[in-house]
Structure 1
Amino acid sequence: MAACRFPASGRVVYFPSCATRMFGAPTRENGMLPTTDAMLELLKRAGYNPVVPEKLDGQCCGQPFQSKGFPEEADRLGDALNVTLDSLSGSGKFPVVTDASTCARHIKGHPGESEVADSAEFLLSHVLPNLKITKKVPVLAVHHNCSAQRLKEQSTIEALAHAMAEKVVVLSSFTCCGYGGDRGLFAPELNAHATRFVKSEIPADCALGVSTVSTCASGLTEHAGIPFVSIASVLEMVSQP
């Protein structure tokens, strides 16, 4: 994936996705921050001035409605969000970053005036070079969710994983975790069946995994036997001063 051409410092608009706001990893005993807090801390640590849209309740890229068969509502919400992001970014003068591959993919397909980056690409190209990794995790499992695959982010995500961990294990027993947005809540057997072999892929010394979609992370946490969290949460933890 080509690096996005964003400035190395200054304002950056951060849009926390709906899924992350609802399912983002909570604070855990090992000190990891929730995704939204971790993203803000990382952006500041890398020298950026993050700006978050006001009144986030009700703001959505429209992807959940598109996937449910309501394209008109998806367009209405997406257009409204683009107006907000374009205003905050100075009509594309400043970068916009979101924290879910599903959201990033949808916005990229229905763009406004702003260039939007998924968290993985922005963290690798513009944040990681300005961080000092202070303590890597021993082993990290990586899940490439459907949207990350469609965005062709595999190499980007794995590069971040190798920067954060001594050893990286890429899950390969399934291509889709079966969670499918909210389908894992209403038809949990889909998620259970898709991930039925995942425990056999997790080494005994692996205690943590990452995914770039929080709903996928929730389903994997339930069936893999280890917590799956966002890349931002892990990167913030391993780069703490």
Structure 2
Amino acid sequence: MIHLFLFDVDGVLVDAQAYLKALQDTVAHFSRRMGVGDHPPTEEEARAFEAHGLTSEWDSGPTCVAALLLERLRRGPSIPLPPHWPDALSILAAHPYPLPRPDYAGLARRVGECLRGRASSAQVARAVLWEEAQVIPGLEPVRSAVAALLDALLGYTRDFFRAPLTRHFQHLVIGSRGVAQTYGVVPDFDSPAYLRRYDRPLLTPATRARLAEAAASKQVRVALYTARPSLPPAE
């Protein structure tokens, strides 16, 4: 008889902290550059995004930053916002306006309510935030710029070369050396690989050796999967 061992990666094989840490540091980096304060999502808020269908940090990160941008426009004094993201960052940094703690869990819920049955969580987040932007006082002079900035943040989240948060996140997760090897570019900054620094194996060396020996002798077969937090099924 051959036994099948099915292992969940996160929490069983690995104490997975790297992606969470990279998400938090990426959002905090851009929130500071925007001059709105240090606003990384908590672990509970990151899990809320996953539970509501934004299962990739490439989507939840820019959703957080885009929401901070709109909140800055809603609460702060008007600024001549350009449509190009690097230029917008410079303008925002020149006009700092600290924001209160954002409700990322509420944001995750609002996006999740519109996500069911639709493929791209980033595009749904963009649509939700654009609709919410319509009630911002004084939006009209910067309407086209805001639309372009939402596109820059959420339009290409799977494209390392076009998505600013994905690019920064990847520098952290796989490290600057990994970025050079994977994407063939000179890294934007030096960083260790968070996957090596923060993730820790949970199986003991003895257990790993026994599993490897059993698999090599075909006594067992091993399969891996990754489960993300989810909401209870709807009635």
The interval holding the TM-score normalised by the smaller chain is under 0.3
Higher strand share: 1
Greater Rg, structure 1 or structure 2?
2
TM-score calculated relative to the size of structure 1 = 0.27
TM-score, structure 2 length as denominator?
0.27
Higher helix residue share? 2
